[in-house]
Chain A
Amino acid sequence: MSNEDASSEDLTILAAVESLERGTAPFRAPRGDEAAETLARLYTEALGLLPYGLEPVAPAPEIRKRLMALVQGDETQPAAAPTGPAAAAPPRSSQEVRPPRLASAVPPFAAARRPPPRRWPLALAATLCIGLVGLSLWLSLQLGQQRQTIARLEKELVDERTRAEESVAQALRLQASELDLREKFALVTSPAVLVSPMRPAGSPPLQPGAGGVLFVASDHQHWYLSLKGMEPAAAGKVYKLWFVADAGKVSGGSFTARPGEPIELSSKTMPAGTREAVITLEDDARTLIPAGPEILRSSPPVEIG
């Protein structure tokens, strides 16, 4: 990583921490700068993990009850919100009541002009009623279709949003992986990096086809281990990495292997005075003392660059 990248990362970190002072919204890097956006997201998530280090505290059950009561009381409001349009229903229904009133106005008018055949107004009213019933049916059919369309579009919208979120998450995972790769690349190509081949141990070696390379940065802290040809550990067994240091053999972590797949391990810390690294096959991943057979052992390091 260049100095410019490093200072850009520093600015992103400080901005993310300082954004904590300003409110609830997570920090966001300037749009368009994907690397900064990814870094901002990663550091924001790291900050968000801090409370997980606290002992969780169970809230009193009344709090949940009170909350759910408040929420369920409020839940009817949105259901009532759509009644906003429906709240206009009373006037509409009063309008629906109007036709009879209009119809009732017909007889005097008709009576004034000529002696009516009394069936006229009835026929007119019946025609109007039939027309209104037909119109209502047609409108309700249209409404039903529109509701179906809206439901379908809403479902599509939810699906699209889910897909978009999954894509964003995938892109973030890829960017995080890219950052990892860049860091590893920066390590293995940095000046004065120490390179130790990992070779099969024991005579005869338990896994003659296994091997790898251990890169240690010039600060003797940051390391990256790449392994190939490791056989899958038997059931109940696990591989463990040990650093042979001033304080004795210190565990560097445990891992498993899959057929044909390379193994990559890295960390930004290494025990003080580490002279070599060993990989053993153990029964217990939590053991603090190597007890199993050695599989690989590092050769003396060579300084590159």
Chain B
Amino acid sequence: MNDAALLRLVADRQPAALGVLYDRYSPTLLALGKRILGSLADAEEVLQEVFLYVWNHAGRYDPARSSVSTWLVLVARSRAIDRLRTHKVVERTHETASQGTPVTHASPDGVEAVFVHERRERVQREMEKLPPEQKQVLEMAFYQGLSQSEIAARADVPLGTVKTRTLLAMKKLRGALRDEVRQLL
């Protein structure tokens, strides 16, 4: 069953549909939360918040604006960035980082495993192809939630340069990930 149909069932209060979406996306969303927060414990809390948000607000999803996958990613990213901006998390992040939390890798089954694996390799490869300065502005915007002005201040470069690097990076990515984007449409 496709993601949009599952989300409609979630809107109709079908827990099993939420379970399928959880199994399908939680490893990627947890990785995203961990990348942003640096702490597996906080990322797991965000993951639960995300799926509770989906349970309560599935009706807010607008298929004209994004795929379900991208909507989930943006919801998770937003929640994680909000949490990052609190002091508590910063403290706990340091604690957890010093404990060296073991990371377990997901192994979804069957066709989806191959699909996810191929997508990961492709995105990793295309990100590695970006010049470091372009990759840096994209990652600062996406994973740290920084505005263009904040990136300019942190990287100590003019705002115009940040915008140019962002544009170049995004154009390259969109071109390189054309097939993946089409699969999401």
User: Residues on A close to B: CB < 8 A?
Assistant: 9-10, 13-14, 16-18, 20-21, 23-28, 41-60, 63-64, 66-68, 70-72, 74-75, 78-79, 158, 161-162, 165, 168-169, 172-173, 176, 180, 267-269
Contacts and interface: CB of A to CB of B under 8 A. Distances in A.
Contacts of B104: 57-58
Contact of B44 (A50, A63, A74): A63
B16 to A, nearest CB: 9
A7 to B, nearest CB: 10
A41 B52 contact: no
A67 B44 contact: no
A74 B56 CA distance: 10
Contacts of A268: 172, 175-176
Nearest to B43: A57
A52 B120 CA distance: 5
B6 interface: no
Given A48-B66, A57-B34, A72 B15 contact: yes
Contact of A42 (B5, B30, B34, B181): B181
B140 to A, nearest CB: 11
Given A10-B167, A51-B35, 16 more contacts: A13-B166, A18-B148, A20-B77, A20-B142, A21-B145, A26-B66, A44-B65, A48-B69, A52-B116, A52-B119, A56-B30, A56-B31, A63-B44, A71-B52, A75-B13, A268-B176
B182 A52 contact: no
A49 B166 CA distance: 16
A57 B44 CA distance: 10
Closest 8 CB pairs of A and B: A48-B70, A56-B27, A53-B123, A26-B66, A58-B106, A51-B32, A54-B31, A56-B106
B73 interface: yes
B173 A46 contact: yes
A56 B78 CA distance: 19
Given A64-B19, A71-B55, A74-B55, A168 B174 contact: no
